[in-house]
Amino acid sequence: MENETQVEGASGKEVLVVASKIKKYIKEKSTLNTSGAVMDALSEKVRVMCDRAIESAKQDSRKTVMDRDFSDIAG
């Protein structure tokens, strides 16, 4: 995907969540502002969840991660 820009957070790792969407959701839900550090924290949780889902797919001898691989994961 050539046109995608990788955004790095303070941790130096790629941010995996859309900051504007997260900030909008939090603002609309609570009227609170969102710290930039939230994107790093959420991205790390997403990485952990994805890693667990990948392992679940591998254990089932699949080459595709599916929604069910996330069902038992508590981020």
Whether the pTM exceeds 0.95: the reply is: no
Q: Which CATH number fits domain 1-75: 1.10.260, 1.10.20, 1.20.120, 1.25.40?
A: 1.10.20
What is the mean pLDDT of the segment spanning 5-11?
66
Q: Confidence band (pLDDT; 50, 70, 90) for 41?
A: very high
Cα dihedral value 64, 66, 70, 71, nearest 10: -140
In whole angstroms, give the CA distance from residue 14 to residue 38. 13
- Kindly list the distances between the CA atom of residue 60 and the CA atoms of 17, 18, 24, 46, 75, in Å, as whole numbers in the listed order: 27, 30, 37, 21, 21
The Cα 73–Cα 55 span in angstroms is 11
